[in-house]
Chains A and B, each alone.
Chain A
Amino acid sequence: MITIMGSMFLITGLLILPVRMIKNNITLLALQSLFLSLIAFLLGSKLGFNGQIIFIGFLTLVVKVFVLPFILLRLAKQLKADKELHPNAGPVVSIVAGISLAVLTYDYVVPVMLQDITSGEELLAAAISTILFGCFYVVSRRSVLNQVIGVIMMENGLFLSALAITGGMPLIIELGIFFDILVGVLVMGAMIYKISDRFQTLDIKKLNRLRG
């Protein structure tokens, strides 16, 4: 069951890459977060009803599945940003890149580089692939809003890897991370609003004046 959830997690991540509609991207992100929280629930019950992990899963559900997408969607509506117009990488390139990144992690990084880690290998592979997806997503998109989505995706990946290897970090740290992400998205939202207000665009190509 966990393996299936892990692959769902991976597939949602992969799907985000080629999609150009920002609303759909946000929805996919929420879906990914949902799988993440489900994984947490399953892991928690598998390890003998571990209260901590379940609590974290619940937190993920609230913050990442409902609150963050809500904020982002509202922001997209306010800014009338519904489509990424000129991505740096087209859909085909994105999907090919995503698949090759997944192959890299599944066939080389996890079994060869991280061979010492024996528990939760398949989840770890999914997690690392998602981190790389997020990274690639950030590189391939030009809209500021999409940068935020990419960062959250990376964060999802990191979260899953922590869950996979150690069964979750100490609660206090998890709480800190959630708070961090929440505030981060709020701040980024404000910044994005300012940027679009100032430059009349969300395209980061236009933001190269600070060059030394």
Chain B
Amino acid sequence: MKEIALFLGQGLFILLVSPLVNGVIKKTKARMQNRVGPPLWQPYLDIIKFLRREAVTSVNTSWLTSITPYICLSAYLVAGGIIPLAGKQILALGDIIAFIYLFALARFFLALASLESGGSFGGMGSSREMMIATLVEPVLALGLFGLVALAGTTDLAGIRGAGSNPAGILALIGLMVVIIAETGRVPVDNPDTHLELTMVHEGMLLEYSGRQLGWLHLAAVIKETVLLILLIHLFFPANPSWPLILILISLIVKIMVLGVVLALIESVNAKMRLFRLPELMAGGAAICLLSILINSLNGL
């Protein structure tokens, strides 16, 4: 019973904190561009506004479009719930592999739903998203499995802090590249525009509106936060013997710091051409591989 309460609490925590993370990133970016920027709580207001609006969908769509926002949201939340923030594993829900594949679940349905309206933009976004996924997933797997091999388990509680070693810095950089691509940030994708040349994630959401769009925006910010939490869990974990409240506060602080870093990276880079992405990913893969090599040489 206590486990379920913990799980629900963790889910609620992620649900509530993630718009704030998005707000911090947006604020930082605005500051870097010499703008005042929206207030930190603006994402909350946006999402609530969307949720109160009626959804308009294309006549071509079916139940798939209607159900996709809920699937995405749930998949990301469960992925967040798998990470044992409070020490030990909450419920036996899954491990790092399930984590990766939950993201695939959400992506699969979103890519399908964006094809449904029969417009060009949805298809474009969907096609590009799947292409990026084929580049991102192997590198993500490389980075994560390197740590898994080091820890000797795929269990997320078992790989807490697996990256807190010298070679871990390399893995961190590699995974950072992956996460930028996965969350659709510059230089891979620009989350702020609806320009046909750049859009990937936004293209997929183009035909969504109102309530459904609100859920999908929420899902997107949750995804971002969950990935950051995973990084923190792997590289900068809090001491599990601390009281819960302290862990949470330190977690929030760390997420915010990482969010600021993301925003800085985004601000100093330009959007990359879509087909130069393999080079970026290859770089990420090389860094991850290097980290694995160093670790395995140390281990033997």
- The answer to whether A and B touch in the complex, with CB atoms under 8 Å apart, is no
